[in-house]
């Protein structure tokens, strides 16, 4: 049974999907006026990890994430740059998708754009007006907060004590305060201002408020109620409180069954902000760092805890990842060189038990509110056990089978977390010159760099066994000259490429 922390209930609860074997989830997407920062990336990576785990546990997941492509920030940027809001939104939507791909975040099942869903929003606003939860003032439509007896249920606020929220809502009202019947009310629909994007509606030309977008799109693509609504913790109030209020008042049913929120990312223990100069964009980080190392860093902190980002932690995460990759390469290599008939060199039963224990601990950690740091810990434990078992040994075929149980577990569980191990890609960055070297010294006639290296290693071993030292040295020197490192071990020569 998976347990998750539900923001609304303020505690961990059993996760019971509304339809057996299915999970329908909605995670608020970006406002596309700029490239996303690593704080946004933290939230998107957290929910990507949650989705991948749910899929691995056998659920058919429908994952909807919107793109907010009409908003004041987009309109302001367009005005500054002398472009249309649609041009700005189109550019940053494309860049957002590219950034997500670069970070290894899987595409949502459906990625609706606000500007393409206006009819669904108008329909929901109209039903709120019809039911007396919203009112029209000169082309604007406002939600009447006090008409919802449950307002505050998600964020744990009391309408009469909403001083701080009050200020946030007022800021959002943008000078239209005097039009509202109550300062707590918020805009569902905004009357058009000259030069701004606008759509026809029963209240005249205008555009949707931010909160109504997510209500309309989740309703349209998932149906109500759906299972999980997610986003960063900063969205609990007012955004999610407002989404919940509108949807439940407009549709007369529960909106989302569970609410999940990821913690905020800070940089060097400070809030990320332009004025502090510590505003880090995802694509800038990925210019120097491997995406899977960034994910490793992110997942080493529980998704609900605050995450402290630093370049030093980035290096540590990369080193941790490299240790796993090296352990797998060493184990693979030992298995490839296992000899038929050799005596068993390690305790295969124990290693198999360790691999199963790792799988069990991983699932137990992830079932407990997606505890990825503990899940990673169980993988690291198996990596250590496997390393110790394999080190400096000549394996039998039975040993190799036990080692494969461990390497399979490590690879599979890392991929559930979305961490792609580099040695998994099957690609090498061997220089093409090695093919000519192999043609020259090993009679190799193919065009594959990996095969060429294997042919050279074989040719060197043959030359040594025939005591043709000149030829053996020529192969070795040729490989070293191209940037390879050769290590002679009891099981034969081990070649790696350092570049």
Which residues in this chain contact ligand AMP in the complex, by CB under 6 A? 28, 30-31, 39-40, 42-43, 231-232, 234-235, 264-265, 272
Kindly tell me which of 112 and 418 has the beta carbon lying closer to Zn ion. 112
Q: Which is nearer to ligand AMP, 233 or 415 (CB)?
A: 233
- Nearer to ligand AMP among residue 173 and residue 231 (C-beta): 231
Q: Does 228 bind Zn ion (CB under 5 A)?
A: no
Alpha carbon distance 293, 299 (integer Å): 10
> Is the alpha carbon torsion for 15, 295, 73, 167 positive or negative?
positive
- Cβ of residue 28: shortest distance to Zn ion, in angstroms? 3
Strand 307-309 relative to strand 492-497, pairing: unpaired
CB of 21 to Zn ion, least distance (A): 26
Candidates 4, 23, 28, 120: give the one binding Zn ion (CB under 5 A).
Answer: 28
The DSSP bridge pattern shows strands 206-208 and 186-191 to be: antiparallel
Please give the radius of gyration of the chain, using alpha carbons only, rounded to the nearest integer. 29
Give 101 or 181: the residue with its C-beta nearer to ligand AMP.
101
Q: How far is the CB of 302 from ligand AMP (least distance, A)?
A: 13
Give the count of beta carbons closer than 10 Å to the beta carbon of residue 384.
Answer: 13
Alpha-helical regions (H) of 131-273:
163-173, 210-222, 241-251
Per-residue exposure over 240-254, b if at least 16 CB sit within 10 Å of its own CB, e if not: bbbbbbbbbbbbeee
Angle between the N-to-C axes of helices 118-130 and 241-251, in degrees from 0 to 180, rounded to the nearest 10:
70
Question: Cβ 492 to ligand AMP, closest distance in Å?
Answer: 49
Q: Report whether 15 contacts 4 (CB < 8 A).
A: yes
Residue nearest ligand AMP (C-beta atom): 232
Q: Which among Zn ion, ligand AMP, none contacts residue 354 (Cβ within 5 to 8 A by kind)?
A: none
Element (H, E) at 263: none
Q: Does 214 bind Zn ion (CB under 5 A)?
A: yes
CB closer to ligand AMP out of 195 and 306: 306
What is the phi/psi pair of residue 420, to 5°?
Answer: -90, 120
Task: Please say which residue, 30 or 225, places its beta carbon nearer to ligand AMP.
Answer: 30
**Least distance from Zn ion to the Cβ atom of residue 219, Å:** 12
Q: Shortest gap between Cβ of 309 and ligand AMP (angstroms)?
A: 9
Contact 417, 292 (CB under 8 A): no
Beta pairing, strands 484-489 & 307-309: unpaired
Strands 492-497 and 484-489: antiparallel
Chain positions 342 to 381 lying near Zn ion, rule: CB under 5 A, are: none
Q: Which does 214 bind (CB under 5 to 8 A by kind): Zn ion, ligand AMP, none?
A: Zn ion
Min dist. Cβ of residue 136 to ligand AMP (A): 27
- Least CB distance from residue 239 to ligand AMP, whole Å? 8
Q: What are phi and psi of 466, to 5 degrees?
A: -90, 5
Q: Which residues pair with 12 in a beta bridge?
A: 5
Q: Which is nearer to ligand AMP, 26 or 444 (CB)?
A: 26
- Judged by beta carbon distances under 5 to 8 A according to partner kind, the member of Zn ion, ligand AMP, none in contact with residue 95 is none
Which one of Zn ion, ligand AMP, none interacts with residue 264, CB within 5 to 8 A by kind?
ligand AMP
Q: Which residues bind Zn ion (CB under 5 A)?
A: 28, 214
């Amino acid at each position: 049974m998976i347990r998750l922390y539900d923001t609304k209930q303020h505690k961990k609860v059993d996760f019971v999907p509304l339809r057996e074997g299915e999970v329908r989830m909605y995670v608020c997407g970006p406002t596309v006026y700029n490239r996303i920062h690593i704080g946004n990336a933290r939230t998107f990576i957290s929910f990507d990890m949650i989705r991948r785990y749910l899929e691995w546990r056998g659920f058919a997941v429908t994952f909807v994430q919107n793109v907010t492509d009409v908003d004041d920030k987009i309109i302001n940027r367009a005005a500054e740059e002398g472009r249309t809001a649609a041009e700005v939104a189109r550019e940053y939507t494309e860049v957002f998708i590219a950034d997500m791909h670069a970070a290894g975040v899987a595409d949502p099942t459906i990625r609706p754009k606000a500007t393409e869903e206006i009819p669904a929003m108008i329909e929901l606003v109209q039903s709120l007006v019809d039911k007396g939860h919203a009112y029209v003032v000169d082309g604007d439509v406002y939600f009447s907060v006090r008409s919802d007896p449950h307002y505050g249920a998600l964020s744990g606020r009391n309408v009469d004590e909403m001083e701080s929220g009050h200020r946030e809502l007022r800021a959002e009202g943008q000078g239209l305060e005097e039009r509202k019947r109550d300062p707590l009310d918020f805009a569902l629909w905004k009357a058009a201002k000259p030069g701004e994007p606008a759509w026809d509606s029963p209240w005249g030309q205008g555009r949707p408020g931010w909160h109504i977008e997510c209500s309309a799109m989740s309703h349209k693509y998932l149906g109500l109620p759906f299972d999980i609504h997610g986003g960063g913790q900063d969205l609990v109030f007012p955004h999610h409180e407002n989404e919940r209020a509108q949807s439940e008042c407009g549709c007369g049913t529960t909106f989302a069954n569970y609410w999940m929120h990821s913690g905020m990312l800070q940089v060097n223990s400070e809030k990320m902000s332009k004025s502090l100069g510590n505003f880090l964009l995802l694509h800038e980080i990925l210019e120097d760092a491997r995406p899977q190392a960034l994910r490793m860093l992110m997942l080493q902190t529980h998704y609900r805890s605050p995450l402290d980002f630093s370049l030093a932690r980035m290096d540590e995460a990369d080193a941790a990842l490299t240790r796993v990759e090296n352990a797998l390469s060493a184990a693979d290599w030992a298995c490839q060189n296992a000899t038929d008939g050799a005596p068993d060199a390690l305790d295969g039963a124990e290693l198999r038990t360790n691999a199963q224990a790792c799988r069990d601990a991983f699932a137990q950690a992830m079932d407990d509110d997606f505890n990825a740091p503990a899940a990673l810990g169980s993988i690291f434990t198996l990596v250590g056990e496997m390393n110790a078992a394999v080190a400096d040994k000549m394996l039998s075929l039975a040993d190799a089978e036990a080692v494969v149980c461990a390497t399979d577990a490590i690879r599979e569980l890392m991929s559930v977390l979305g961490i792609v191990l580099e040695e998994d890609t099957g690609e090498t960055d061997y220089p093409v010159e090695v093919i000519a070297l192999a043609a020259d010294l090993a009679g190799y006639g193919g065009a594959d760099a990996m095969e060429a290296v294997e042919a050279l290693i074989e040719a060197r071993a043959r030359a040594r066994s025939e005591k043709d030292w000149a030829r053996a040295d020529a192969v070795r020197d040729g490989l070293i000259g191209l940037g390879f490192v050769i290590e002679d071990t009891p099981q034969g020569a081990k070649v790696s490429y350092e570049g």
